[in-house]
Amino acid sequence: MIVVVGSINADLTVNVPRHPQPGETLLGNGGGITAGGKGANQAVAAARLGSPVAFVGAVGRDANAAPATALLADAGVDLTAVEPLDDVTGLAVITVAADGENTVLVISGANARVGREIVDKHADLIGRAEILLLQGEIPAAGCERAVEIAQAAGVRVVVNLAPVIPVDPAVLFAADPLVLNEHEAVLVARQLGLNDQVTATDLVRAGVHSVVITYGADGATIADEHGSTHIPAASVDPVDTVGAGDAFTGALCHKLREGELLIDAARYASRVGAFAVTRPGAQPSYPWPTDALPELP
């Protein structure tokens, strides 16, 4: 199975004609609560496509916990290792402009407590995984401990360091692949002492096993010890880009678990990401196996 150690959020989404300028007030609409969090998004994406997925994380004992986990449960994700804590459930305030571009402000809440203690509590589950999937919305200590457990058990590690947080370089070097968007790649490069004009190949040369850098509508680049390849994006009319990167990463892990090569998994993930942007929301926009995916050029 895929074990995700990560974040669970309630997403508060507001639609606006454009993003406000500093100090400006705009009228918007929406305001509904939906399920989100990078970890939860990626878990739902992989589970909807057919992978068995288990989740290690935390929610608060508040009104947002139920809607935040509803689509995880609906997709069949094992939530046994999701801890209810005396805290608030993570909250993401999302502003979506008419062109589909978004901004996201995250309040960590219970996610900030997914550190070594919670990870150690579920070490057996992590050690039985085929793939461990991590993001950057939990403390670095939790990520680092999860990697230690996975490596000791011979579990493949996939890291989507989003947002980019300072981590022990061992986390980056354990990733196979390390998945980043173009902005995150620059921040990771700085952690490794590399130039801002970083490429996927540069990160491999720095010691990362394999790397995927996504560029939105410009596709993605993958690199490993054998070289690099550009993967185009499908041409679609975007409605909402929230969670598209998470759809990509979840789909990538789904195909890697099935034994696909990284290049083939990334091509499939690009199609899933393109599908997601044609529908509103994050988790609700993710495809099921019966959905027709956009074709790559």
| Residue located via tokens 């008419």 | 98
Asked if residue 31 belongs to a known ligand binding site, the reply is no
Asked if residue 216 belongs to a known ligand binding site, the reply is yes
Asked if residue 281 belongs to a known ligand binding site, the reply is yes
Asked if residue 285 belongs to a known ligand binding site, the reply is yes
Nearby residues of 219 by Cβ (< 8 Å), 6 or more positions away: 230, 231, 232, 233, 270
Asked if residue 40 belongs to a known ligand binding site, the reply is yes
Asked if residue 246 belongs to a known ligand binding site, the reply is yes
Residues catalogued as catalytic: 246
Asked if residue 223 belongs to a known ligand binding site, the reply is no
Asked if residue 267 belongs to a known ligand binding site, the reply is no
- The runs of H, that is alpha helices, within 80-181 are 116-121, 123-127, 140-153, 169-174
Asked if residue 37 belongs to a known ligand binding site, the reply is yes
Q: What are the respective helix, strand and coil percentages of the chain, to the nearest 5?
A: 35, 25, 40
In DSSP terms, 220 is beta-bridged to 214, 231
Tell me the residue type at 21. Answer: Q
Helices 38-48, 65-74: axis angle to 10 degrees equals 20
Asked if residue 115 belongs to a known ligand binding site, the reply is no
Distance in angstroms between the alpha carbons of the first and the last residue of the chain: 32
The answer to whether residues 85 and 36 touch, using CB atoms and an 8 Å cutoff, is no
| Structure tokens given for 132 | 């461990």
Asked if residue 242 belongs to a known ligand binding site, the reply is yes
**How many Å is the maximal CA-CA distance in the chain?**
52
Asked if residue 198 belongs to a known ligand binding site, the reply is no
Element (H or E) spanning 279, and its range? none
CA angle 75, 152, 202 (to 5 degrees): 80
Asked if residue 58 belongs to a known ligand binding site, the reply is no
Asked if residue 32 belongs to a known ligand binding site, the reply is no
Which residues does the annotation place in the binding site for substrate? 9-11, 37-41, 137, 246
Which residues does the annotation place in the binding site for ATP? 181, 214-219, 245-246
Which residues does the annotation place in the binding site for K(+)? 240, 242, 276, 279, 281, 285
Which residues does the annotation place in the binding site? 9-11, 37-41, 137, 181, 214-219, 240, 242, 245-246, 276, 279, 281, 285
